[in-house]
């Protein structure tokens, strides 16, 4: 897999060395045990996989290269490049402006754009409708499209199975940029429907079994289905793809559940398309690494990433099931060893917890980060934690 020219201020010499050593010792990525940083009174366990993925590094490289090569052009981002406040703040500080927010609300009217403007498409991709609007202005998109190749893989797979008369079921968050983009690309080829979770999958099964009406479906799944969707016609053959940042196990569970429901109703062995190859490798690796890390007895976990990052929120959910977990977006959220500002994902609000670090010795902390979080942020958090214990990070161990 190719390497990218990511600005050095996002890198961490310590974490890069750790990752390289782990990769050399485990080329097939079968070892999901965490890396131990033993600081005496503090023991830190770093997840086997975390931080920038292929798609994120690709997007950052394109964005910074565009800034360097076009100093005299107006440069816009369609929406957040990735869901990380540090990276997005860096880009806006260099003059890039956002056209929309993450929900698709217009911040700068497209009508104010000129043909010589540059518009960067974020790693999540965008809808065919928005692409068409920008091209109509004369804006060239190809060189500035940072859509993740693994997102495009989902689009291509959706097209392939739609051509075989399968309806595309997208497991994702309906308001998320990636889900909106995937729905747009899928719906142009055939019937498409977004479902949020297992609960919605179970409610969808009522329509597969024809236990509820078309009008009830249209009300329950409002704004989640393609034009002309008919339950009697379009739920006989389905393929389940995902928003690539969802829990892989959830997507697979939903696909398996719906497969059985459709087969029981229609007795068709080919009623479900095989879409297991649409699961993102980085999402899967990071989630598997968290599950491996959670086998280590610990006192608390820190999950680092943007608060609107889907993949990071799922890492938090996995950790929060097992032990006290704090979701933070940077080192400044740790005010002291006694006080931390953190995001309560379940309630959608930021909270303050006191006390933060207990007096237990050694204190064991599990740490991971989302796919859009720079390693440099994680290293600064490690340094802050080490400072509370008058310890230094073991750089020599990984040199």
Q: Report the alpha-carbon distance of residue 257 to residue 309 in Å, rounded.
A: 27
Q: What is the DSSP string of 192-252?
A: EEEE-SHHHHHHHHHHHTT-S-HHHHHHHTTTSB-TT--HHHHTSSEEEEE-TTS-HHHHH
Q: Report the alpha-carbon distance of residue 170 to residue 245 in Å, rounded.
A: 12
Helix or strand or coil: residue 169? strand
Distances (CA, A) of 168 to 13, 211, 226, 230: 43, 21, 10, 13
Smallest CA-to-CA distance from 278 within 246, 235, 256 is with: 246
Helix or strand or coil: residue 366? strand
Surface-to-core class of residue 352, CB atoms within 10 Å of its CB (0-12 exposed, 13-18 middle, 19+ buried): exposed
Give φ, ψ of 152 to 5 degrees: -65, -30
Helices (H) and strands (E) in the chain, counts: 14, 14
Residues annotated as part of the active site: 178
Distances (CA, A) of 1 to 53, 55, 64, 244, 325: 11, 12, 21, 19, 33
Give φ, ψ of 92 to 5 degrees: -70, -30
Give φ, ψ of 210 to 5 degrees: 60, 40
The owner of tokens 């997102």 is 151
Q: Report the alpha-carbon distance of residue 144 to residue 293 in Å, rounded.
A: 37
Look up residue 304 and give its DSSP letter: E
Q: Report the alpha-carbon distance of residue 64 to residue 66 in Å, rounded.
A: 5
């Amino acid at each position: 897999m190719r390497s990218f020219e990511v600005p050095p201020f996002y890198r961490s010499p310590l974490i890069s060395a750790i990752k390289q050593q782990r990769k050399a010792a485990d080329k097939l990525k079968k070892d999901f045990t965490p890396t131990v940083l033993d600081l005496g009174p503090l023991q830190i366990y770093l997840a086997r996989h975390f931080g920038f993925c292929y798609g994120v590094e690709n997007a950052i490289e394109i964005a910074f290269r565009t800034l360097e090569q076009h100093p005299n052009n107006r440069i816009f981002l369609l929406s957040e490049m990735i869901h990380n406040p540090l990276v997005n703040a860096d880009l806006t500080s260099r003059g890039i402006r956002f056209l929309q927010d993450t929900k698709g609300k217009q911040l700068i009217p497209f009508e104010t754009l000129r043909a010589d403007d540059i518009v960067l498409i974020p790693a999540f991709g965008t809808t065919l409708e928005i692409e068409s609007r920008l091209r109509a202005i004369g804006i060239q998109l190809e060189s500035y499209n940072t859509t993740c190749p693994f997102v495009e893989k989902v689009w291509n797979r959706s097209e392939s199975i739609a051509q075989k008369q399968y309806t595309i079921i997208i497991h994702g968050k309906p308001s998320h940029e990636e889900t909106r983009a995937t729905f747009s690309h899928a719906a142009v080829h055939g019937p498409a429907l977004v479902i949020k979770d297992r609960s919605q999958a179970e409610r969808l099964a009522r329509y597969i079994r024809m236990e509820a009406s078309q009008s009830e479906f249209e009300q329950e799944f409002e704004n989640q289905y393609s034009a002309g969707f008919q339950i009697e016609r379009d739920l006989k053959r389905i393929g389940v793809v995902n928003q690539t940042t969802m829990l892989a196990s959830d997507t697979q569970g939903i696909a398996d559940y719906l497969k059985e429901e459709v087969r029981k109703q229609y007795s068709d062995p080919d009623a479900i398309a095989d879409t297991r190859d649409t699961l993102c490798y980085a999402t899967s690796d990071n989630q598997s690494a968290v599950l491996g890390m959670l086998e280590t007895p610990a006192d608390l976990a820190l999950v680092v990433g943007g608060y609107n990052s889907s993949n990071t929120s799922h890492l938090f959910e996995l950790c929060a099931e097992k032990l006290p977990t704090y979701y933070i977006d940077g080192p400044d959220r740790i005010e002291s060893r006694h006080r931390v500002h953190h995001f309560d994902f379940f309630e959608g609000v930021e909270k303050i917890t006191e006390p933060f670090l207990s007096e237990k010795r050694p204190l064991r902390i599990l740490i991971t980060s989302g796919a859009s979080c720079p390693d440099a942020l994680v290293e600064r958090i490690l340094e802050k934690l080490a400072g509370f214990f008058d310890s230094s990070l073991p750089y020599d161990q990984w040199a």
